[in-house]
Chains A and B, each alone.
Chain A
Amino acid sequence: MRRRDARRSALFRLVLGCFAFFIVSALVIGVLLFFGFQHFVERNSRAQITEQLIRSVDGPADIDAWIGEMTRHVRRARQAPLNEFVYALFDAQGGCPTVGDARHDLTDCPTSTIGSWPPGVPVKTGWVRFALSLGTGPPIRMFAWVEMLPSGHRLLVGRPVEVEGIFFDRLTGLAALAIAIVIVCGLVGSWVVCRRLLSRIDRINATCREIGVASLEQRVAIGDQPDELAELADNINAMLDRISDLVQTLSGFTDQVAHDLRTPLTRLRAKLEGLTARAGSTNAVERGRGAIEDVDAILETFNALLSVARAESNMAFAPMSLAAIVENVVELYRPLAEDKPLKLRVRTAPAVILGQKALLTQMIANLLDNAIKFTPVHGTITVSIESSADSIRLIIADTGPGIAADERSRLFERFHRGGGVGATAGHGLGLHLVRIIAKRHRMTIAIEDNAPGLRIVIEGHPWSPPVTAAEGERRARHRPAPGWSSAQPASESARNRRWWR
């Protein structure tokens, strides 16, 4: 199996695409959750901090009230060991504000739990985040509200957010790791999943390539799963059946043609040689006439060849009455049959098919001619048409010697007529033509035992005129529940038809 370059596999790109889509969706959700959570946490912090300031008295203008408030907060904070809040109220210069008459310095300022205005914090009303060093130990992340009072004092209330910070850091780290793992697993998983499917497709491709090059006998393996790939393999096999059929028909055909052309050509040559050797002899006229007949024989074969070629390629079909064509041909051959003598019976039914008049006439004539030739005297030949809603059968039955069962399949391949002067050459092509014309009209040929004799059954589908829109609607309303669409007319080899038909 050829190693497939991953970039050039449509399947892999598809799976990767699905996976990428999934990843992107997950990422979007993750990001939303992350920021949502972060926002929630921050709101919580703000709420806690804001709560501390609610108990201010008379609004921010009342500096004494603020000082009193803050003093109380600070005293309580110093007494509660688990307090985490930070309070600070400094004057405009950053020093401890005067409380009553007492002046304190920063080390034991009653309105502040911290020694000085934290460096890096702008003196401006608003929320801030900063890092605070509390003696020994690393700086702690803080979230605080800063307020500039009209008197110039600055207020700060905050709480540590180190835990949240660490939490979110860890979370971000883990998320990144998780995404990386998922991406790697996804890539590997996609490849593993694809490989199985790809190997099936690769097998089909490989078989087709071999078939194209080597023999037409091989068929594509269907596999054991009833999915689209199996159906594809089945269809390819059906196509190969048909091609193989055509090729076989053609090869037997060319043998016959070669024989039918070489024989009269050889005779013609001999006669002309005789003529040139003895010009002026009384035999000349006779030989000349004979030569003309040989040329006619060659022309007939040539015409038959053209008919065959045209039968394969001609596209101009029209609806026509098979019954009318049959009756015409039968009337043409009746005297010949009755002279032998043979009984010739006809039973037609109305039957319209899509076809070509000249080809159908030829086909029926060849079959009838054959039947007349091979049925011994006093026998009966019956030509009948059976017509039903979805099938038309044309049956030519005789009471002749018939054909042994194992010979029947070769009947159309190697019909060998003992050549004779005067009879139309190219007649051996007659049954080839019958087969090709039947195929061209999408009809099947079956050779059966007439007990006694031979029975040839040609079956096809009747032609129905295209429906008008109104009629189509009417039919649609009465249509039964939809199932699988109906299969094509059965080809002659029905190998490998499986579950979905």
Chain B
Amino acid sequence: MQVLVIEDDPGTAAEIAAVLREAGWTVDVACDGSDGLRRAAARPYAVLVVDRLLPVLDGLSVLRELRTRGVLTPALILSALGQPMDKVQGLTQGADDYMAKPFAREELCARVQVLSRRSLPHPEVLLIGDLEIWVKARTAHRGGRPLDLSPKEFDLLHYLAVNKGIAVTRRMILEHVFDWKAETEPGTNVVDVHVHRLRGKLDKGFDRPLLMTMRGSGYLLDAPA
């Protein structure tokens, strides 16, 4: 699966490429906006990682142009401009996700992975091991028994399940499950407590835990091999 990175600073580009290659992606790098535009339009990439401040043509203009041409490749903007206003601007101009620099490797990988699944169809039922999630009805069963989840707990489980196998970070959970738009994160680890509760309801009494904590990265939902 191929990723195109559009970034003008060679050091940063090399770093991003290294991180993604380590995770198993094939990475191409473009050094300015117009080169990136040309390449993204020429070949079908899985995900685009775009910097905003680029020479010749800036990141948002590249995305706008691509969308006008019907190229709907999911795009992650990685930019030093990290204020909520900038994010809103980015997301309304054709980006699918937005990350501020400096970035943590695991988070970058996780977000790229999440984006690469975007084009997959959305099933009505999610099956992971003996866990069954009915999306429309908002119910979850494990081993045949229904799970008593609060609405937020279901949202969290759903998010983890949709991104099965990807270690999603606290930040991602805050943004997508709790609609947290602020620049800074909450002082205490509120997300951890939510996950801990969910784990209690999901994994307690079962031999194989589905919800795992990856130290330093985040949380992951998957059936153990």
Q: Are A339 and B193 in contact (CB under 8 A)?
A: yes
Which residues, 189 to 214 on B, are CB-close (under 8 Å) to A? 190, 193-194, 196-197
Distance, CA A355 to CA B185, complexed state (A): 20
Given A306-B83, A314-B85, the answer on whether A362 and B194 have CB atoms closer than 8 Å is: no
Give A328 to B194 CA distance when docked, in angstroms: 14
Give the segment of B21-29, B118-126, B136-144, B173-181 that binds chain A.
B173-181
Instruction: Using A299-B102, A339-B193 as known contacts, say yes or no to A332 and B84 having CB atoms under 8 A apart.
Output: no
B187 touches A303 (CB 8 A): no
Say yes or no: A426 contacts B184, CB within 8 Å: yes
Q: Is B117 an interface residue (CB 8 A)?
A: no
Q: Does B14 contact A (CB under 8 A)?
A: no
Choose one: A306, A316, A361; the contact of B180 (CB below 8 Å): A361
Residues on B with C-beta less than 8 A from A303 are: 82, 183-184
Check B182–A332 contact: CB distance below 8 A.
no
Contact between B178 and A332 (Cβ–Cβ < 8 Å)?
yes
The interface residues of chain A, by DSSP majority, are classed as: helix
Please indicate the chain B residues that have their CB under 8 angstroms from the CB of A306 in the complex.
82-83, 183
Q: Is the CB of A328 within 8 A of B186?
A: no
Chain B residues near A82: list those with CB within 8 A. none
B152, B182, B187: the one contacting A423 at CB < 8 Å is B187
- CB pair A335–B181 under 8 Å, yes or no, is no
CB of B216 within 8 A of chain A? yes
- A359 to B, closest residue via Cβ: B182
* B178 and chain A: residue at smallest CB distance: A332
Interface string of B69-89 (1 = CB under 8 A from A): 000000000000011110000
* Partner of A373 from B83, B152, B179, B188 at Cβ < 8 Å: B188
Q: Which of A310, A424, A430 contacts B83 (CB 8 A)?
A: A310
Q: How far is the CA of A307 from the CA of B85 in the complex (A)?
A: 11
Binary flags per residue of A292-326, CB closer than 8 Å to B gives 1, else 0: 10000001100110110010001010000000000
| CB interface residues, A 255-271, toward B, < 8 Å | none
| Alpha-carbon gap, A358 to B205, bound state (A) | 40
Q: How far is the CA of A369 from the CA of B197 in the complex (A)?
A: 19
Chain A min CB distance to B84 (Å): 4
A365 vs B186: C-alpha distance when bound (angstroms): 7
Tell whether, in the assembled complex, residue B184 and residue A289 are in contact, meaning their CB atoms are under 8 Å apart: no
B185 and A300 form a contact (CB under 8 A):
yes
Of all chain A residues, the one with the shortest Cβ separation from B194 is A335
CA distance A448 to B163 in the complex (A): 46
Chain B: minimal CB distance from A70 (Å): 110
CB pair A333–B190 under 8 Å, yes or no, is yes
Which residues 318-364 of A have a CB within 8 angstroms of B?
328, 331-333, 335-336, 339, 356-359, 361-362
Interface residues in A125-178 (C-beta closer than 8 Å to B): none
With A289-B216, A306-B83, A314-B85: A362-B188 Cβ-Cβ less than 8 Å: no
Write the nearest CB–CB distance from B155 to chain A, whole angstroms: 10
Q: Considering the chains assembled together, what is the distance between the CA atoms of A306 and B83 in angstroms?
A: 8
* Separation of A430 and B186 alpha carbons in the complex (Å): 10
A430 touches B181 (CB 8 A): no
Q: Closest approach, in angstroms, between the C-beta of B80 and any C-beta of chain A?
A: 11
A358: contacting residue among B102, B182, B186, B194, CB under 8 A: B182
Instruction: Pick the contact of B187: A314, A328, A366 (CB < 8 A).
Output: A366
Contact residues, A401-430 vs B (CB, 8 A): 423-424, 426-427, 430
Interface centre among B152, B190, B194 (most CB of A within 10 A): B190
- Considering only residues 422-440 of chain A, those with a C-beta below 8 Å from chain B are 423-424, 426-427, 430
**What is the chain A residue whose CB lies nearest that of B184?**
A303
Residues of A within 8 A of B102 (CB): 299
What is the 8 Å Cβ interface bit string for chain B, positions 52-73, against chain A (1 contact, 0 not)? 0000000000000000000000
Bound together, the chains give a CA A387 to CA B183 distance in angstroms of 28
In contact, B194 and A423 (Cβ under 8 angstroms): no
Question: Whose C-beta in chain A lies nearest to the C-beta of B152?
Answer: A331
How many Å from the CB of B190 to the closest CB on chain A? 5
* Closest chain A residue to B197, Cβ basis: A335
CA distance A299 to B102 in the complex (A): 9
Give the contacting residue for B181; candidates A300, A361, A366, A372; CB below 8 A: A361
- Interface readout for A391-406 with B: 1 if CB under 8 Å, 0 if not? 0000000000000000
Q: Which of A307, A336, A356, A362 contacts B190 (CB 8 A)?
A: A336
**Contact partner of A365 among B82, B83, B182, B197, CB < 8 A?**
B182
The minimal Cβ–Cβ distance linking B209 to chain A, given in whole angstroms, is: 19
Chain B residues with Cβ below 8 Å from A372 are: 188
**Which chain B positions have C-beta within 8 A of A369?**
186-188
Taken together as a complex, chains A and B put the C-alpha atoms of A314 and B182 apart, in Å, by 14
- Measured between beta carbons, the chain A residues less than 8 angstroms from B190 are 332-333, 335-336
User: From residue B166, how far is it (CB to closest CB) to chain A in Å?
Assistant: 21
In the bound complex, residues from chain B placing their C-beta under 8 Å from that of A359 are 182
User: In the complex, which residues of chain B have a beta carbon less than 8 angstroms from the beta carbon of A310?
Assistant: 83, 183
- Check B184 against A307 for contact (C-beta < 8 Å): yes
- Which residues in chain B, 92-126, are within 8 Å of chain A measured between CB atoms? 102
Instruction: Give CA–CA (A331, B154) in the complex, Å.
Output: 13
Q: How far is the CB of B199 from chain A (nearest CB, A)?
A: 12
7 contacts between A and B (CB under 8 A): A304-B184, A306-B83, A307-B183, A331-B152, A359-B182, A369-B186, A427-B187
CB within 8 Å of A: which residues of B? 82-85, 102, 152, 174, 178-188, 190, 193-194, 196-197, 216
A-B contact sample (5 more), CB < 8 A, given A310-B183, A332-B180, A361-B182? A303-B183, A335-B197, A357-B181, A361-B181, A372-B188
